[in-house]
Structure 1
Amino acid sequence: MPREDISFQTADNVTLRGWFYKLSGDNSVLPCLVMAHGFSSLKEMDLNTFAEYFTSHLPLSCFVYDNRGFGDSDTKEGQPRHEIIRTQQTSDYSDAITYAQSRSDVNPDKIGVWGSSYSGGHVLWAGAVDRRVKVVLSQVPCVDGWSNFHRLIRPDFVAGLNRLFQEDRLARAAGKPPGSLPVVDEDPHKPSALPTPDSYQFFTGWGKNSNWKNNVTVKTIEAFREYHPSAHIQHISPTPLLMTVAENDVLTPTDLALEAYSRALEPKQLHLLPGGHFDAYSGPNFERNANKQAQFLREHLCA
């Protein structure tokens, strides 16, 4: 599937880079699906597979980009790489929509957003507050950072993390480099952002086959705890919402996603996938997952 290397500017003048997909030789003005990855992940970590599937099965273009400070994208001058601040990433989604609207081969009135895991929460937020969004696809989403944080972190580790957050703030205020933590660690008793066995397996596998780096700033973890992306989920309506939830998700827990979905208003669809968090991306679940998402896009964005 042919793709075009692109870049665009955010509202605070950061250059983000990605790929634009559409069928070769198709000069039509098409709907566009804006896609970004989850916590620390890069666009080549299976987002290309989804974009290729959608553009080969639908009259649709896909715009995939790396989040700021990750992969091929820049970060703001003076700010660290590998820092995830939700207000910046959700704002960047809106700037990506603006870029898509500026293209002559995109129908500016037919733009959807797709996100997975952490960005699955971002698209819930963007779909509620940015009325240019015409369809929302939220896959295995983080919906409640506070609850999610306390599911992932053992209670006896929380006090130590709170001390780490304070020490990092004081150090940064004194002009020292920001502290960092690994995203994953083989030993779940050691500090990491995503202390689940399936997270370790997924990310270390990609670490051998991509430019993914195993670190995020300490501030990233503190910012994750305060994030509540489903707070406005009821305001997505009347924009159509498809939420894809894994039945045995321990990273972004299944029950939290289902509770958030219950608060969304119509029109909405729920797709339950067998397996855990990362089974949505590849393997036997991929065709089932991508086909359902393509059907939803055909009905609500490509009609």
Structure 2
Amino acid sequence: MSVRQYPETSHIDKNVSKSNFLSDGVECSATLHVPVTQQKKQLPAILMVGGWGSVQGALTDSFINHFIAQGYAVMEFDYPGWGLSGGFPRQDINPWKRVKTAHNALAHLKNQQQVNAHQIIVWGTSFGGGHVVDLVVDHPELKGAIIQVPMLDGISTVRSVPLPQMMKFFGYGMVDRLKPGARICIPTVAKPGELGAMDRDRAWDAMQLAKDTLKIDYDNRVTARSLLTMGFYRPWKRLKHVKIPMLIVGATQDTVAPFVAEKIKRVNNSLIEVKTIDADHFDPYFEPFFSKNLAYQLAFLNRLEHLSACA
């Protein structure tokens, strides 16, 4: 078991601007990062689509800074009810509503003055990796997509949960769904064996390392009813409809969102490139695995730039 270290990133000169966009009438928070040394009026851009319990600035900053160093504008956002976004109930997850928010975030990014709307790549992690599949199928005009440690099959994810924990999830979820009034929440991240949506793959250690390094607070809660949606969300089935270049970086030891390599292979889509890392779900965010993960992603971005130059 490797000792995790938060990736070091040299200082990046960038301009950071906050803005808001609407999703189903809810005001959502977004942050656009733009390199100050870039002289072009409009830049290629990357839309960051976060995972299950993600908020802006949590485990994404190292990727953002490296992408900015490559000359990209990068935008991240908070889902309704999470982070700096409005909306109630708080800390609730519905994957299909989140995909709709991602569509609205993409429209918002395209309207940014600094962004070339015809040169956008979508990046997703964990649960957000599945959202990216849904997003790019509906937007074949996008330049490309990257998804890392993606949750592509809810059934495989549910099956990876130990039975006693699964029964607790179901019980809390049903009570939360049926009872009136305030929602019932459980921890998003928990120590091994404790009640929490993610208690495996050293999830607790990952959260603590990120909090200590980035000096951020984190509302470690998710509504229990959110867990009931997981088994019905299976974005891998739409991979066959992807019509743009896509890189998938999977972790072979992932027990939080098991990597479904055989399902991806079955799709047989020549536009999809697969790379693997012998790691668990959270390892690719940290060294010693981050560098290899990032290298795959930067090489993919470079190939996209080459294809654009040749077109």
Q: Same fold (TM over 0.5)?
A: yes
Name the residue aligned to 2:18: 6
Cα root mean square deviation, aligned: 2.0
Alignment of 1:283-298 (within 5 A): 283-298=287-302
The structure-2 alpha-carbon separation of the partners of 1:158 and 1:273, relative to structure 1 and needing over 3 Å to count, comes to closer
Q: In structure 2, do the counterparts of structure 1 residues 197 and 104 end up closer, same or farther at CA, with 3 Å as the change threshold?
A: closer
Q: Say if 1:259 and 1:37 are closer, same or farther in 2 by CA, change over 3 A.
A: same
Give me the whole-angstrom Cα distance separating, in 2, the residues matched to 1:258 and 1:114. Answer: 22
Which amino acid letter does the alignment assign opposite residue 140 of structure 2?
R
* CA shift for structure 1 position 207: 4.4
Against the structure 1 CA distance between its residues 207 and 232, is the aligned structure 2 distance closer, same or farther, given a 3 Å change threshold? same
Confirm or deny that 1:280 pairs with 2:284.
yes
Change in CA separation of 1:46 and 1:163 when aligned onto 2, cut-off 3 Å: closer
Q: Give the superposition deviation at 1:104.
A: 2.3
Displaced runs of 4 or more, over 6 A = none
Q: Check the 8 A contact 1:180/1:216 in 2, yes or no.
A: yes
Q: With structure 2 as the length reference, what TM-score do the two structures score?
A: 0.87
State the Cα deviation string for residues 4-59 of structure 1 (Å, max 9, x = none): 232232341222223212220434211111003211122212312111101212x3
Question: Structure 1-normalised TM-score?
Answer: 0.89
The answer to whether structure 1 residue 50 and structure 2 residue 63 are counterparts is yes
Q: 1:17 aligned to 2:29?
A: yes
Alignment-derived partner of residue 81 in structure 1? 90
Contact 1:186 1:197 in 2 (8 A): no
Structure-1 residue corresponding to 2:135: 126
Q: Structure 1: give runs of 5+ residues left out of the alignment.
A: none
| Whole-Å separation in 2 of the counterparts to 1:133 and 1:13 | 25
How far apart are residue 249 of structure 1 and its match? 1.4
Distance change (3 Å), C-alpha of 1:116 and 1:216 = same
Residues 293 and 193 (structure 1), Cα distance of their counterparts in 2 relative to 1, 3 Å cut: same
Cα gap change, 1:257 to 1:199, in 2 (>3 Å): farther
Aligned residues: 292
2:7 matched to which residue of 1? none
Check the 8 A contact 1:51/1:64 in 2, yes or no: no
Mapped to 2, the partners of 1:87 and 1:52 lie a distance apart of 29
Identical positions, percent: 22
Residue 99 (str. 1) matches residue 139 (str. 2): no
Partner residue of 2:169?
161
1:240 alignment partner in structure 2: 245
Instruction: Confirm or deny: 8 A CA contact 1:27 1:105 kept in the other structure.
Output: no
Secondary structure of the equivalent of 1:98? helix
In the alignment, is the contact (CA less than 8 A) between 2:130 and 2:236 conserved in 1? yes
Contiguous gaps of at least 5 residues in structure 2: 1-11
Q: CA deviation at 1:278?
A: 1.2
- Structure 1 distance, partners of 2:256, 2:174, is 25
Higher deviation after alignment, 266-275 or 197-206: 197-206
